[in-house]
């Protein structure tokens, strides 16, 4: 078994057996946040002066800010001084926990009727594995480098490609953007960097796998993807964390820059630990994701399957600046037990003939609250802008909530903006109908929910779609009957 | 095959079935008729295992086993099929996926390997012919946007595919035009065999012109008040239910 396959098995693994904690020797710094801590992080990463200064600037700005309160979320006060801002597996402690390819994964593929030869193609995924504050392994770097593609950890990028980082970092999400963006800009630890040169069609899926392992730590990664003219890349992101009773903070930034005719597809399966059935523990997930379609005819497509985290606050957005540029957002957000999600997107139409599509499928179960929040903004100069939004909510049981907050701001008369929304319930009738055909309740829910979310799941790369389908079923286990 | 002994069923403390006795052997077709609200659908649902009923008294034996100890899915896997009066829509789930899941769940229960995709599609094609169902129907989501007639045909199609031992058809004729009625009845007749049994629940005698029952039972106020052969259905057609109602009500 190759190293890639091992890492991949971890990526596509699915049960929340992710609740385990790996016994890896970890180096941490004392808890709390101060200029001193920011300097320590920067020093640990041997960063150049300009970056240390950028961090400090962000930190000072953050101190003047308040946590946003507009989201439909109830969050206990987060004690920022109790969090550890840097944790790293000690040198040599590579991913020992990556064992065999999960037989369940192989089994799933067999069930799907996919021949093994195709399955081997799964190895055609390059992975950057991030554990706590550092990137532990990036695969296929050499293969990619042959094409001029840079795919490495953010820290490596700072060392080896400082000009690119300097040019693009913060160009889409400035540190002043919001409270969590400022926090991330001050203390971000690692993440992935990806650069696709002119005219290159990235031959494999690029993937980052985020894992929080250490206790009491926050995870603050940054991802930066730059796609030059006429290039293409598909990017995957997966995340998990151990089960712990205390809440843990995750505040990430993802920035995407798409130049002329470039296309970037960004897919996420977010499976951070959601807390237990009583709402104890779980990750607070505050993420700023934004892409800019800078060049004409460029395209950015976000697909997300959100099943984890106690709290999710996340709005992957597209700034459609280039003429004829296209933004897409496909989302399935599942909440169960006491989970809360406030997620959606922003589509900012600036260029002419820009188009955006929003398909959001919320699934609420247990006592959870699930909100869609989306902004479609058409600026004055955006002639012939076109948006279609569809926001569906599915409810399981009668103790959960589904909410939709669409904002439409249109300043150009030629724009066509559509919004559709539906709310439905998984009926006992549907489940009984399945039961009567020999399908047990668990599989019935999985079938019904996957049917409901099909439009979005179809957008995911194959190996992720399989994981996502199973995840949906697992997340909703025990939510009916 | 099926033996119902003094079955009493309540919903929220209201007794709907007040002591049903019925015996169904392999190879037989039984028709259960009765006016609205007599408890016909409750009987069908109780047999299939819907859980909002309380079985307060009596027994249901299926192939010698106490049926009430089985979950709805296990009853289905043991060969009990319910043709729904109101088939349920499941958006986004294709008929192919739905039926393949169903068949493989049943096969797993019987410790058989899953049916390979090719074999499954072949089986679907065969069974489609039995019920004269459009190819297009199986490419759509389960019952979604189906007409009333299509939904009922789809029930019979599923029955053909799942090959139950005991089929219970709950008002399968309601809402069918004469052509659909013929197709549905043909389907049922073709699937009749000495090994399986059918219980047809219906309002009208009409269906029984096409599917000739061995026995006819009249359900009224939660009891089987009259049983006979197919001529009983004819009698009901001519005289309505009133004479039975009068007979029963005068006894009380």
Chain B 144-183, CB below 8 Å of chain A: which residues? 158, 162
Residue B42 to residue B30: CA distance in whole angstroms: 16
The pLDDT tens digits for A302-322 are: 999 888 888 999 999 999 999
For residue A273, the model assigns a pLDDT of 80
Size (chain A), residues: 481
Number of domains in chain A: 1
Helix extents (H) in A346-419: none
Would you say residue A186 lies in a domain? yes
Cross-chain CB nearest to A438 (options B50, B93, B105): B105
Which helix (H) or strand (E) segment holds residue B22: the answer is: strand B14-24
pTM, to two decimals: 0.79
CA-to-CA dists, residue B240 to B174, B201, B236, angstroms? 17, 16, 5
pLDDT band at A45 (very low <50, low <70, confident <90, very high): confident
Taking contacts as CB-CB distances below 8 angstroms, the residues of chain A near B72 are 432, 435-436
Asked which of A15-29, A49-63, A281-295, A372-386 is least confident by mean pLDDT, the reply is A15-29
C-alpha A307/C-alpha A78 separation (Å) is 22
ipTM over 0.90: yes
Phi, psi of B73 (to 5 degrees): -70, -35
Please say whether the beta carbons of A192 and A151 come within 8 A.
Answer: yes
The C-alpha atoms of residue A469 and residue A305 are separated, in whole angstroms, by: 9
| Adjacency order of strands within the sheet including B14-24 | B14-24, B2-11, B54-62, B65-66
| B206: containing domain | 2-251
A92 touches chain B (CB under 8 A): no
Which residue in this structure is represented by tokens 């959100």?
A306
More confident residue, A216 or A230: A230
Of residues A432, A443, A452, nearest to B92 (C-beta): A452
**pLDDT the model gives residue A208:** 76
**For residue A22, pLDDT beyond 70:** no
Chain A residue numbers touching B90 (CB-CB < 8 A): 430, 433-434, 447-448, 451
Whether the pLDDT of residue A211 is over 60: the answer is: yes
Buried b / exposed e across A310-325, counting CB within 10 Å, b at 16+?
Answer: bbbbbbbbbbbbbbbb
Contact present, A479 and A396 (Cβ < 8 Å): yes
The CA distance from B87 to the nearest CA of chain A, in Å, is: 8
Tokens matching residue A138: 């990036």
Please report where in the chains the tokens 């800078």 appear, as a residue: A294
| CA angle in degrees (0–180, nearest 5) for A373-A374-A379 | 150
Minimum mean pLDDT range among A143-157, A428-442, A467-481, B130-144: A467-481
Give the 3-state secondary structure of residue A49.
helix
Strand partners, A370: A341, A402
Tens of pLDDT, residues A380-400? 999 999 999 999 999 887 888
CA A153 – CA A138 distance, rounded (Å): 7
* Among chain B residues, CA nearest to A451: B92
B-chain CB neighbours of A113 within 8 Å are 116-117
Cα–Cα distance for residue pair B151/B136, rounded to 1 Å: 13
Mean pLDDT of chain A: 82
CA dihedral B75, B78, B82, B88 (to 10 degrees): 70
Q: Which of B77, B116, B141 sits opposite A438 (nearest CB)?
A: B77
Q: Does B215 touch chain A (CB under 8 A)?
A: no
Give the integer Cα–Cα distance in Å for A386 and A377: 11
Alpha helices in chain B, H assignment, sequence order: 40-48, 72-77, 95-109, 117-131, 135-139, 148-162, 178-191, 230-239, 242-251
Range of the domain at A230: 3-475
Q: What CATH number is given to the structural domain containing B112?
A: 3.40.50.300
pLDDT tops 70 at residue A374: yes
- Greater pLDDT, A140 or B74: B74
Q: Does B226 touch chain A (CB under 8 A)?
A: no
Alpha carbon separation from A64 to A179, B150, B232 (Å, rounded): 9, 64, 87
Q: Give B-chain residues touching A436 at CB under 8 angstroms.
A: 48-49, 72-73, 75-76, 81-82, 84
CA end-to-end span of chain B, whole Å?
33
Q: How far apart are alpha carbons B229 and B234 in whole angstroms?
A: 10
- B71 contacts on A by Cβ (under 8 Å): 435, 440
Q: What is the pLDDT of residues A231-252, one digit of tens each?
A: 999 988 876 555 666 778 889 9
Residues 453-472 of A with CB under 8 A from B: 453-455
Q: What phi, psi does A253 have (nearest 5°)?
A: -130, 135
* Pair A178, A185: CB distance under 8 Å: no
**Contact yes or no for A451 and B91 at CB 8 A:** yes
DSSP H or E stretch at residue A172: none
Answer yes or no: do B88 and A433 touch at CB < 8 A.
Answer: yes
Q: What's the half-sphere exposure (Cβ side, CA atoms, 13 Å) at A150?
A: 24
Among A373, A441, A357, A367, which residue's Cα sits nearest to residue A406? A373
Q: What total number of domains does chain B contain?
A: 1
Q: Is residue A34 part of a domain?
A: yes
Which candidate, B219, B175, B172, B218, places its Cα nearest to that of B191? B172
Determine the pLDDT at residue A144: 85
Which of A27-41, A50-64, A128-142, B155-169 has the lowest average pLDDT? A128-142
Burial code (b: 16+ CB inside 10 Å, e: under 16) for A93-111 equals: bebeebeebbeebeebbee
* Cβ-Cβ contacts under 8 Å, A437 against chain B: 76, 98-99, 102, 105, 158, 162
pLDDT of residue A357: 96
Per residue of chain B (252 residues), what is the pLDDT tens digit?
A: 999 999 999 988 899 999 999 999 999 999 999 888 889 999 999 999 988 788 999 999 999 999 999 999 999 999 999 999 999 999 889 999 999 999 999 999 999 999 988 899 899 988 888 887 777 788 899 999 998 888 998 999 999 999 999 999 998 888 788 888 888 888 889 888 999 999 999 887 888 888 999 999 999 989 999 899 988 888 888 888 888 888 877 765
pLDDT of residue A204: 82
- CA B233 to chain CA centroid, nearest Å: 18
Asked if residue A480 belongs to a domain, the reply is no
CB pair distance less than 8 Å for A450 and B93: yes
């Amino acid at each position: 078994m190759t190293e890639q396959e091992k890492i991949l098995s971890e990526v596509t693994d699915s049960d929340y057996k992710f609740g385990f904690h790996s016994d890896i020797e970890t180096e941490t710094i004392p808890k709390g946040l101060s200029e001193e801590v920011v300097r320590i992080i920067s020093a640990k990463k041997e960063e150049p002066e300009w970056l240390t200064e950028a961090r400090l600037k962000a930190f000072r700005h953050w101190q003047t800010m308040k946590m946003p309160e507009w989201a439909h979320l109830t969050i206990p006060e987060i004690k920022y001084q109790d969090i550890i801002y840097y944790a790293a597996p000690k040198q040599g402690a590579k991913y020992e926990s990556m064992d065999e390819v999960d037989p369940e994964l192989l089994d799933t593929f067999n069930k799907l009727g996919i021949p093994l030869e195709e399955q081997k193609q799964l190895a055609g995924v390059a992975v950057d594995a991030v554990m706590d504050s550092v990137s532990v392994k990036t695969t296929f770097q050499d293969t990619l480098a042959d094409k001029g593609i840079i795919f490495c950890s953010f820290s490596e990028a700072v060392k080896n490609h400082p000009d690119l980082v300097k040019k693009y970092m913060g160009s889409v999400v400035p540190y002043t953007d919001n409270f969590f963006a400022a926090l991330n800009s001050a203390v971000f630890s690692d993440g992935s960097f990806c650069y696709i040169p002119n005219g290159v069609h990235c031959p494999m899926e690029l993937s980052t796998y985020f894992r929080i392992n250490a206790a009491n730590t926050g995870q603050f990664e940054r991802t930066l993807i730059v796609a030059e003219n006429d290039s293409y890349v598909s990017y995957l992101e997966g995340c998990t964390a151990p089960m712990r009773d205390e809440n843990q903070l995750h505040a990430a930034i993802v920035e995407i820059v798409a130049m002329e005719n470039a296309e970037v597809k960004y897919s996420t399966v977010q499976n951070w630990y959601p807390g237990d059935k009583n709402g104890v523990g779980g990750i607070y997930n505050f993420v700023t994701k934004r892409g800019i379609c800078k060049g004409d005819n460029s395209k950015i497509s976000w697909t997300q399957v959100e099943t984890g985290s106690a709290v999710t606050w996340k709005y992957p957005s597209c700034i459609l600046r280039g003429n004829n540029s296209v933004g897409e957002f496909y989302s399935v957000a599942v909440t169960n037990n006491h989970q809360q999600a406030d997620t959606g997107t922003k589509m900012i139409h600036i260029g002419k003939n820009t188009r955006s599509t929003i398909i959001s499928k919320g699934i609420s179960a247990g006592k959870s609250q699930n909100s869609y929040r989306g902004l479609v903004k058409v600026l004055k100069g955006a002639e012939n802008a076109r948006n279609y939004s569809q926001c569906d909510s599915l409810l399981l049981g009668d103790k959960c909530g589904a909410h939709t907050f669409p904002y439409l701001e249109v300043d150009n008369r030629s724009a066509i903006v559509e919004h559709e929304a539906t709310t439905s319930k998984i009926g006992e009738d549907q489940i009984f109908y399945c039961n009567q055909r020999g399908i047990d309740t668990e599989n019935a829910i999985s079938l019904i929910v996957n049917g409901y979310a099909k439009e979005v799941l179809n957008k995911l790369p194959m190996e992720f779609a399989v994981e996502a389908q199973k995840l949906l079923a697992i997340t909703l286990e025990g939510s009916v009957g | 095959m099926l033996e119902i002994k003094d079955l009493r069923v309540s919903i929220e403390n209201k007794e709907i079935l007040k002591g049903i006795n019925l015996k169904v052997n392999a190879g037989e077709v039984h028709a259960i008729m009765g006016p609205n609200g007599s408890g016909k659908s409750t009987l069908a649902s109780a047999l299939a295992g819907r859980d909002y009923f309380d079985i307060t008294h009596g027994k249901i034996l299926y192939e010698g086993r106490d049926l009430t100890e089985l979950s709805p899915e296990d009853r289905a896997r043991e060969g009990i099929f319910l043709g729904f009066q109101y088939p349920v829509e499941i958006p986004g789930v294709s008929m192919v996926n739905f039926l393949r899941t169903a068949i493989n769940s049943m096969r797993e229960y019987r410790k058989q390997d899953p049916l390979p995709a090719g074999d499954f599609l072949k089986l679907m094609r065969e069974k489609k012919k039995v019920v004269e169902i459009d190819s297009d129907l199986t490419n759509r989501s389960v019952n979604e946007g189906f007409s009333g007639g299509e939904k009922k045909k789809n029930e019979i199609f599923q029955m053909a595919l799942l090959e139950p031992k005991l089929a219970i058809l709950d008002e399968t004729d309601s809402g069918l035009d004469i052509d659909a009625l013929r197709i549905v009845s043909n389907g049922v007749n073709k699937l009749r065999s000495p090994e399986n049994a059918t219980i047809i629940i219906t309002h009208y005698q009409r269906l029984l012109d096409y599917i000739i029952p061995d026995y006819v039972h009249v359900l009224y106020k939660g009891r089987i008040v009259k049983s006979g052969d197919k001529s009983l259905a004819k009698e009901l057609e001519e005289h309505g239910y009133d004479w039975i109602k009068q007979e029963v009500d005068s006894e009380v």
